[in-house]
Amino acid sequence: MSTDPAPWSKLEEIKQQSQFLRGQIAQELAQPTDHFEETTAHLLKHHGIYQQDDRDRRGQPGPEGQERTWIMMVRVKIPGGRLTADQWLLLSALADRFGNGTIRITNRQDVQFHGVRKVLLAPLMQALHQAGLTTLGACGDVVRNVLVCPAPVADGGIREQLFAHTQQLTAHFLPRTKAYQEIWQGAGSDSVCSTGQFPPASEEEEPLYGTNYLPRKFKIAFGLPEDNCVDIYTNDLGFLALAEHGQIRGYEVLVGGGLGMTPTDKTTFVALAQPLAFIRPEEAIPLAEAVVKLFRDHGNRANRRRARLKYLVADWGLQRFRRELERYYGQPLLPPQNLSLIGLDHHLGWHLQPNGRWFYGLYVENGRVADRQARLKTALEQICQQFRPGIRLTPMMSVLITDLAAEDRSKLERVLREHGVRLSEEVPLVRQYSGACVALPTCGLAITESERALPGILDGLEDVLARLGLARLPICIRMTGCPNGCGRPYNAEIGLVGRAKDQYALYLGGSFLGNRLGFLYEPMVPRSQIVPLLTSLFEVFSHHRLSGETFGDFCVRTGPESLRHLVISRDKTN
Ligand code: SRM
Ligand code: SF4
């Protein structure tokens, strides 16, 4: 039997030969074409850019008879989700000028532009740079945006300490390649961008990542047991803080979370991160570096489907993983303290800040900031101009409008109302806690609708929940357009995962707090049957629920078989 390691994947070759992410990007950018070649498109991801095509227009020839309408998604990395009013105003203007007129807040506290034409990429990237924003490290095989609770609540300064660690970590893991500046920040008529002449790349360019960067994306979150708004267990690496008297005493280190899976490949799976160790706060960066290096050296570079940290943890087992990590870290690790989650706050509505100012958590449906029936985009622009607030993006895709004076509270509400935007307090709880991934028409991997489908499904369910007296109970429903799990459906109380045209797998029993995976209840539910099926399940829940029980806990206590029986007998009697 051969013991040769499996050959590395094509993408590893592309990275290796790219001269630290340069490849042919500049040359192709300078050509008068509407899209990039496949190899270049792969490299562009490391610059925060995804080449896509408008899937609503597939099959309709473009203006020059081309088969696809090529568009780009540009993801801007926003560490801690924090922006100034001016930055938000700029992003809003850039979306009109270069994108499709909308901003998409992501569930990793970033923003995305959709629908950017190739010819407009360079001016967009330059405008972002001038505003102190970057797309570097938002996508690609590197450490992605590090999640942290953005809410300026009165917690004795704990969240500010978490934010400071997030900033340090972000700076530490930012790719160092000069390709980014060369291509995008020098873009202009006489720049390298149009000539494609780069200075030679040197090995020192990426001392941490090396020529091949990581085997795959790597996700980190800082969280608190009393507020899991960052969904910490779904990350490759989590730092769960133990805080006492306004000081972080240490972090529980969680490893191996990840929600991507390929149903046809049984070696892939969804996993929540597991507790591995307990460290002092000042150890966070060296420990993170040790984990990232271990992943860099031992992650799977042959099969990208199995290239996440969770597979290394599963293949080695936690004990061996720990031993190998200790070698990279250079010292033994203390055992975890098994901190448990006790709360989750989405930070919507009005809250007093410790500095005496106020913040308003504004619900944004699926993170899409647009002028539609409600003119949310214009309302946010007016708010930024009138009150000059801070803007913070949440991992639940909403916006915190911060640093408002008490006397501005009613004025802000008036601006929202004048633009037809519902106040967060008026949004039913089930909607507040639910969310969908982008999916169609931009995502190239989408099998079904998601962002465009969930609002209608919730319309149907809100009346049902009100009729059953469950309107005051928060229930978390998450939807995705494919099994990749971007919308984090597998640890939601109800997860809807696109599996075939207009068909969704239904998962039940994730925990409201996000620390338990759900089970597969039905593998294929037609979209038209989602509301009827969930209605039956809610009816069963309202009859058999224990006092104070959440929907997810009820599903787990009852179990799939009994649930099915209860639903069938309920449907017969109705
Ligand atoms: Fe994601 C790929 C959108 C969070 C797991 N994700 C994609 C792409 C880039 C599609 C592609 O590769 O062509 C999607 C772009 C759609 C579009 O048109 O905008 C996409 N993912 C998103 C966003 C925008 C969804 C959202 O509704 O907010 C999120 C961007 C976050 C960010 O700012 O970085 C987003 N993606 C996630 C999450 C949740 C998270 O990070 O907390 C996950 C699950 C956690 C995880 O990583 O395991 C996630 N996305 C994936 C995967 C599966 C990865 C895997 O291990 O198999 C893919 C597919 C891939 O990478 O090949 C993917
Ligand atoms: Fe696209 Fe699938 Fe991610 Fe949704 S879950 S954004 S459909 S890759």
Per-residue pLDDT reduced to its tens digit, 200-213: 677 688 999 999 99
pLDDT tens figures, 279-337: 999 999 999 999 999 999 999 999 999 999 999 999 999 999 999 999 999 999 999 99
pLDDT tens figures, 327-379: 999 999 999 999 999 999 999 999 999 999 999 999 999 999 999 999 999 99
Q: Kindly state the helix (H) or strand (E) to which residue 237 belongs, with its residue range.
A: strand 237-244
Q: Which atom of ligand 2 is nearest to the CA of 440?
A: 7
Burial class of 331 by CB neighbour count within 10 A (0 to 12, 13 to 18, 19+)? exposed
pLDDT tens figures, 44-96: 999 999 999 999 999 887 767 778 999 999 999 999 999 999 999 999 999 99
Give percent above pLDDT 70 in the chain: 96
Residue type, 378: T
Residue type, 210: G
| Beta strand 390-393 pairing with 399-404 | antiparallel
Q: What is the pLDDT of residue 192?
A: 47
> Peptide bond preceding 215: is omega within 30 degrees of 0, i.e. cis?
no
Q: What is the pLDDT of residue 528?
A: 98
Angle, in degrees to the nearest 10, between helices 284-298 and 318-329 = 110
* Mean residue pLDDT across the chain: 95
Closest CA to 235 of 108, 367, 340: 108
Distance CA 435, CA 494 (A): 11
Active site residue: 15, 22, 82, 217, which one? 217
Ligand nearest to the CA of 303: 1
Q: Is residue 265 within 8 Å of 188, Cβ to Cβ?
A: no
193 is catalytic: no
The sheet carrying 519-526 orders its strands as 435-436, 477-480, 494-500, 503-508, 519-526
The tokens for 135 are 């797309």
Residue type, 299: G
Distance CA 418, CA 379 (A): 8
Q: What is the dihedral sign for C-alpha 343, 494, 568, 455? A: positive
481 touches ligand 2 (CB under 6 Å): yes
479 touches ligand 2 (CB under 6 Å): no
Distance CA 259, CA 484 (A): 7
By three-state DSSP, how is residue 19 classified?
A: coil
486 touches ligand 2 (CB under 6 Å): yes
Segment 259-286 shows an average pLDDT of 97
Burial class of 32 by CB neighbour count within 10 A (0 to 12, 13 to 18, 19+)? exposed
Atom 15 of ligand 1, nearest CA residue: 443
Q: Is residue 324 within 8 Å of 242, Cβ to Cβ?
A: no
Phi then psi dihedrals of residue 2, to 5 deg: -70, 140
